[in-house]
Structure 1
Amino acid sequence: MQDDISGWSDWKHNFEGIEEISSPSELHGLLTGVVCVTEAPTRDEWLQILSTLNVPKLDDDALALLEEEANDVAHALAEDELDYLPMLPDDEHFLSERVQALADWCAGVVLGFGLASGHIRANEQELIESLQDVASVEFEETDDDEEGEQSYQELYEFVRLIPVSLSVGRKKISVLNSSLLQNFHSKMKQNIETSDSSNLVEMFTPHRPS
């Protein structure tokens, strides 16, 4: 199967079942949306980004895969050679599964782009809206035919190039200088303040004998 060649098998193995993310394809879309705006996040930055989404800590292999894929995607988007490919199941999977994966991926791109606060340049609003439209697509049994397959391929070829358009010509910022980690730092500050408050309460609350 092409899943092994494309990397989908490893991607699905590492990221399937994360409740906070709809699917592995949505995570790849999120990664892509982020890298349209920022430099490729490091392993530690991925830990912090996922923490803002309340995703449980991933193991080292999964984090290494995220870091490697982010670097690959950043390279593909920077070249403007139309080599970028979404991480999706191959055509041996049911059409319904592939349509849902593509919809999830589109939703992920919009989410990642928004989390990184990518400013929308002229003519890009329409591209974002196109991703949102595909993200809301629902597969029907009547679509499961040759015409439906052709429509899927056309849709796939259209949306896979949108991240290239969003990325090319954009000056990438560091993850640290983006809005990606603002929620993380706010959460850390809140935890510290809560901890300090608890300590103060303990300091000024006498231990009364029972």
Structure 2
Amino acid sequence: MHDDESGWTEWDGRFSKVPDLSGPSELHGLLTGIVVVTQPPTSDEWQAILARIGFEPLPEDALRLLTEEAEDTAAALQDDTLDYAPLLPDDDHPLIERVEALANWCSGVLLGFGLTGGRIRKDEAEILHSLSDVAGLLYSDEDDDEEGEESYTDLVEFVRLIPVSLALGRERSTVASTSLLTGKPLVDAQGDALDHVDSDHDHAHTEGSDTPIVEHFNPARPS
């Protein structure tokens, strides 16, 4: 899908220069991870959430865009058509940019889910570890070939359904009833304490992977 159609162009313009944010995909992942567990936050709740994890207040137009996208995403995650998609740059962008955006999106999902204190149900640990693997992708110039393009496409199709699976059968809580605003310790989806969002830090790190398409980009991942 082209950048203008997916919303990437607008999001990139609104959020690409937000301090401490790696880019629009991370923020989209964050809101996705949150609305897997909670009802879509209001504008005031978004400002409070972002302030609590260390972001500066958003301008009104950016805040409105974030709030509306959270509502749309919450609906898409429960839609039987399974049309939910991560916000990623289109295929006109270099592969390295797309891989980095996908990794940032996965990291955002893990962070958002973890910040809510969402309960990890049976069999969900494995798919969260899969997100963690993608969040830790490493890319080299050697990956920029047809095989790399195919692996990227497979990865996107694989991870886009993970939030749908996490949302399936889960009754959404109010934002106020979760750890987003109650002052409970902030944790990521792996249960690690978070004091502040640091986009240069790998929030979701897991050793090992049985997913060949992840290993294509990440053959020598550090432990």
TM-score by length of 2: 0.80
Match of 1:160 in 2: 160
The Cα offsets for residues 52-79 of structure 1, whole Å up to 9 and x where unpaired, read as 1111111110000011000000000012
2:50 maps to 1:34: no
SS in 2 for 1:131: helix
What's the secondary structure of 2:37's corresponding residue?
A: coil
Structure 2 segments unaligned to the other structure (5+ residues) = 185-223
Distance 1:158 1:130 in 2: 9
Give the structure 2 partner of residue 7 of structure 1.
7
Structure number, greater radius of gyration: 1
Superposition pairs for residues 12-31 of structure 1, below 5 Å? 12-31=12-31
Give the alignment of 1:131-210 within 5 angstroms: 131-183=131-183
Displacement of 1:183 after TM fit? 3.8
What is the aligned partner in structure 2 of residue 90 from structure 1? 90
Aligned match of 1:108: 108
Whole-Å Cα distance in 1 between the matches of residues 141 and 66 of structure 2? 34
Q: Distance in 2 between matches of 1:94 and 1:41?
A: 34
Please give the secondary structure, in 2, of the residue aligned with 1:169: coil
Structure 1 position 147, deviation (Å): 0.5
3-state SS of paired residue (1:36): helix
CA displacement, residues 40-96 of structure 1 (integer Å, 9 cap, x when unaligned) = 011111000000111111111000001100000000001242110111100000000
* Distance across 2 between alignment mates of 1:105 and 1:176: 25
Q: Distance in 1 between matches of 2:9 and 2:139?
A: 23
Q: 1:79 aligns to what SS in structure 2?
A: coil
Distance in 1 (alpha carbons) for counterparts of 2:13 and 2:138: 25
Runs of 4+ in 1 over 2 A off after TM superposition: none
Aligned to 1:71: 71
* CA-based RMSD: 1.2
Q: Equivalents in 1 of 2:163, 2:81: separation in Å?
A: 12
Q: Could you say if the C-alpha distance between residues 24 and 76 of structure 1 is closer, same or farther in structure 2, counting changes exceeding 3 Å?
A: same
- Quote how far apart the aligned CAs of 1:156 are: 0.6
d(CA) in 2 for partners of 1:146 and 1:129?
A: 27
2:27·2:105 contact (CA, 8 Å) conserved in 1?
yes
Aligned position for 1:118 = 118
d(CA) in 2 for partners of 1:53, 1:62: 17
| Structure 1: stretches of 5+ with no match in the other structure | 185-210
Amino acid at match of 1:53: I
